[in-house]
């Protein structure tokens, strides 16, 4: 008994020397078009995988709406700026996230979470992982459609062809809000209510720049055999050379980078930008690749 009593103060002192165990940084996930927060074969699977590999981690898979059906529908039809405001509110009121979090977005969820980083610095986002996110937008880009939403995408194609930059379409069709037509750059800059704003196409919002530069790492994953995103280099923040739709240029050759409107040039020089390529079509990757390549950014 005496030995146990003596050990008590010794263990307490040892605990003070070692300090408290490091908490695991929470993770926020945002799904892509036609998906939902908790689909067991997509985001639900990813959430369970992360929780299994990183014991004790808190994972919030974002749901926009009161159920999975609404969440899926909102990925097509709810104004992106309203979605971002909703997410910022969710993050600000979640007690698990107040010390900061990592974020991982899939497809359009990648650029939406970047908007969160730029617009809502509290709680702080540490690392942003964009898996197939289209940061310079997409165009001509619905060769196929996710899940069981083919009839929806048929309608979207027709609507975008009729007038992606009209006020009604911009306000009520998510995919129009990051539709970037290299042959209609002036229309895009003037009328895009989401992407042109977060990409500083109409002027410099220094707060956006400051907030994005606060990231420790901005990881961009490009699918090397992508048949869904046009152009695929948008996943690395590149795009078509201005005024045509054949030749693409990398981020470093864009005016966005050269003028450093978002701070990406400075982040690049500081080693904060990470460009990863993975073989496969859009959002096709193996668990082994995810474990070895993505999980280290979450630990």
Tens of pLDDT along 118-132? Answer: 999 999 999 999 999
Q: What is the CATH number of domain 27-139+203-297?
A: 3.40.50.1820
Residues 24-35 have pLDDT tens digits of 999 999 999 999
Q: Is 284 a catalytic residue?
A: no
pLDDT tier, 159 (very low <50, low <70, confident <90, very high otherwise): confident
> Domain-by-domain residue ranges, the chain?
27-139+203-297
Residues 248-281 have pLDDT tens digits of 999 999 999 999 999 999 999 999 999 999 999 9
Q: What is the pLDDT of residue 60?
A: 98
Segment among 14-28, 61-75, 138-152, 223-237 with least mean pLDDT: 138-152
Alpha-carbon gap, residue 105 to 206, rounded angstroms = 24
Mean pLDDT of the chain: 89
31, 135, 180, 282: the active-site residue: 282
197, 226, 230, 260: the active-site residue: 226
Q: Is 150 a catalytic residue?
A: no
36, 42, 75, 107: the active-site residue: 107
pLDDT tier, 21 (very low <50, low <70, confident <90, very high otherwise): very low
Say whether pLDDT at 4 is over 90. no
pLDDT tier, 163 (very low <50, low <70, confident <90, very high otherwise): confident
Q: Is 31 a catalytic residue?
A: no
């Amino acid at each position: 008994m005496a030995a146990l009593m003596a050990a008590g103060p010794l263990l307490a002192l040892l605990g003070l020397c070692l300090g408290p165990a490091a908490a695991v940084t929470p993770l926020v996930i945002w799904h892509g078009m036609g998906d939902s927060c908790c689909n067991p074969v997509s985001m639900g699977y990813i959430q369970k995988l992360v929780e299994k590999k990183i014991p004790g981690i808190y994972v919030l898979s974002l749901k926009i709406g009161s159920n999975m059906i609404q969440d899926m529908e909102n990925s097509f039809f709810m104004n992106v700026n309203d979605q971002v405001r909703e997410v910022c509110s969710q993050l600000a009121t979640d007690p698990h996230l107040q010390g900061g979090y990592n974020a991982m977005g899939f497809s359009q969820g990648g650029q939406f979470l970047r908007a969160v980083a730029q617009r809502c610095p509290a709680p702080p986002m540490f690392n942003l992982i964009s898996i197939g996110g289209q940061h310079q937008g997409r165009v001509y880009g619905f060769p196929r459609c996710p899940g069981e939403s083919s009839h929806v995408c048929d309608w979207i194609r027709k609507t975008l062809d009729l007038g992606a930059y009209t006020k009604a379409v911009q306000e009520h069709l998510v995919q129009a809000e990051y539709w970037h037509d290299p042959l209609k750059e002036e229309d895009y800059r003037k009328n895009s209510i989401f992407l042109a704003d977060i990409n500083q196409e109409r002027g410099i919002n220094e707060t956006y720049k400051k907030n994005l530069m606060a990231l420790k790492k901005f990881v961009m994953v490009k699918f090397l055999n992508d048949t869904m995103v046009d152009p695929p280099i948008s996943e690395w923040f590149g795009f078509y050379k201005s005024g045509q739709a054949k030749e693409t240029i990398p981020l470093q050759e864009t005016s966005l980078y050269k003028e450093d409107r978002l701070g990406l040039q400075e982040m690049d020089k500081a080693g904060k930008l990470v460009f990863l390529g993975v073989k496969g079509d859009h959002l096709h990757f193996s668990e082994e690749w995810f474990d070895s390549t993505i999980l280290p950014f979450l630990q």
